[in-house]
A and B are shown apart, each in its own frame.
Chain A
Amino acid sequence: MIGYTISRLLQAIPILILVSLMAFGIIYLIPGDAATVIGGPSATAEDLAQIRANLGLDQPLYMQIVTFYTNLFQGDLGRSLMLGIPVTEAIIQRSPITIGVAIYSLVITIVLGLVTGIIAALNHNRWIDQAATIFALIGVSLPNFWLALVLIVLFSVQLGWLPTGGYIPFTTDPWGWLRTTTLPALSLALLQAGLLTRITRSTMLEVLSQDYIRTARAKGLSEWVVVGKHALANVMMPVVTVLGLILSVLLSGSIVIESIFGVPGIGALLGNAISSRDYPMIQGGLLFVTAALLLLNIVVDVLYTWLDPRIRVGGGK
């Protein structure tokens, strides 16, 4: 298994190189002169020269690439034009907030998706199954930012249960953190839960028809043990494989969701960077999030092989 982990990490290296090259190349997509676009109409000739020097645009392309990678290996992603601090520093400051909300959201997704999917499968073809299927389908069809707005109207404006936005760090006030992050986490989770419900339901239906479930029943085990132990253990594995996808959608969703709720995480950082044309920040954020996801996907794959004894313990016949 250690061998597998290492080989997966090695495979990720060429992808990471390409990904970083693409992130680097984004600045060349800017139509016309990048410095003029970044500086805006009021920029003087000196301003533009300053911007070019900052971004290294005054150097030949190969030098820019060399500098980019040299800096990258030292963890230097350039300096944010908007904040005036190193991009890496901004990312390190903000990521714990996003990670917190993401974990909260992931927990809601998994609980909601698994429970709904399992209940639907256990009541196959009854109204509760149909309802869950429709819930799941609608879930994957809604724009998450719109759902966020609807949740604000419902829970904050109409019911007044939760604040419309803002953020209180967990370390300052755990209850306040929960109050400020519940709606963002929910907005991100409900749609993912739809996806997870669909996968859980179909996997569960397949697992319940397996011979070993019949064996478990023949042993005289209670239905709780049959479903909760024998079926669930087998349902978990395909579910683990979609975790990577769920995390990916969750992190891209955080740009809009964090901006809407004023949660100062990576998402909001990127959102602001976009509106103020802070390209080093955009490049750095994009690269950071993607690299983090690549790593998380490897973790998920390794977790999968660990969960499945057929892979973990060799010697199969």
Chain B
Amino acid sequence: MTDKPLLSVRNLSVGFPAGKGHVLAVNDVSFDIRPGELVGVVGESGSGKSVTALAVMGLLPPTAMLSGQLLFEGRDMLGLSRGQLRQLRGRQLGMIFQEPMTSLNPVFTVGDQISEAVRALGGVSRKQAADRAVELLDQVGIPSPRRRLEDYPHQMSGGMRQRVMIAIALAGSPRLLIADEPTTALDVTIQAQLLDLLNGLRERLGTAILLISHNMGVMAEVADRVVVMYASRVVEEADIFQLFDTPQHPYSEGLLGSTPDMAGTARRLITIPGAMPSPGALPPGCLFAPRCPKVVDACTKAQPPLIDLSGGQKAACIRAPKREAGVPA
């Protein structure tokens, strides 16, 4: 694993027109993904995590306004033409979505939908594309793949369809796979199987994965590193062990659903009261302050910056450095 990032998101902001002005769905977000790494982005719905993923894919609606940089292997994707971006989508980037039930076209066979992605790469015959489709279906663990080529999506279960989606995303042997809540709509057992599949693919093919989820449990199973987003901003970024052992932002603690008590032995369940502020009506200062159990006066004055802590951990909380000093890992 080299340290040179495959994808480097630098100060990305995404705005959408609303009324007379616009609202920021993603605000000054930065993080890196190295080759073969599995980075999770976690947050409640509306936190901006899916918009970030779509921005990387170049799939945002034309009304979206983007600023910052999206460096893919050092090249800024925001400067690319639509055609270049499309080339990138087929070959270097693949994406799977939350809803396997609706993400496949109901009127074409799965074989057609997979080989279409293969043929879009160019230079393959119909027969070769079909063979490759069989190979891909096999790779994502679909039994007797050649027989399933003629199936329509409605003949498959949700888990199977999500596997087909992964096969489509893998058609161009992408270096980065973006998975936006890939297991949310599925049963728990199927969820585990799919996470295993993603993890296995990463190990076998060396594909980096950007996994979007609201579920810390999912992160715990597969992520190397996690970016926590809240109300369009990154509030914490940490190694998966650091995040679970020493979360530095109260929101991360809340997401973990538990917090270490004074003795450090028992854990009690906490929930986060209140709701995330809407992008149109943001509170002054720290965006999490209204819901934060540890809020102090200074929190409502200014938005704390994302600061580097030890071990590559980052957090945007005014209490973060002190807490780190006070609480041993």
Contact = CB atoms under 8 A, between A and B. Distances in A.
A218 B116 CA distance: 12
B107 A221 contact: no
A218 B91 CA distance: 10
B314 to A, nearest CB: 30
A309 B99 CA distance: 20
Contacts of A170: none
A225 B119 CA distance: 12
Nearest to A308: B107
A215 B167 CA distance: 12
Contacts, number: 84
Given A309-B152, A309-B154, A317-B157, A219 B103 contact: no
A222 B117 CA distance: 11
A220 B172 CA distance: 10
A217 B86 CA distance: 8
A212 B106 contact: yes
Contact of A219 (B90, B107, B152): B90
A313 B57 CA distance: 34
Interface residues of A, number: 25
B107 A309 contact: yes
Interface string B110-150: 00000011001000000000000000000000000000000
A53 to B, nearest CB: 59
Interface in A301-317: 307-310, 313, 315-317
A220 B105 contact: no
Contacts of B169: 218
Interface residues of B, number: 33
A124 to B, nearest CB: 11
B102 A310 contact: no
Contacts of B120: 219-221, 225
A94 interface: no
Contact of A218 (B94, B154, B157): B94
Nearest to A237: B107
Contacts of A23: none
A233 B107 CA distance: 7
Interface of B: 57, 59, 86-91, 94-95, 97, 99, 102-109, 116-117, 120, 152, 154-157, 165, 168-169, 171-172
Top 7 A-B residue pairs of the complex, sorted by shortest distance between their CB atoms: A220-B90, A220-B89, A211-B102, A212-B105, A219-B117, A316-B154, A218-B95
24 contacts: A212-B103, A212-B106, A215-B103, A215-B104, A216-B105, A218-B94, A218-B95, A218-B97, A218-B169, A219-B117, A220-B87, A221-B120, A222-B86, A225-B120, A230-B108, A233-B108, A234-B106, A234-B107, A309-B109, A310-B154, A313-B155, A315-B154, A315-B155, A316-B154
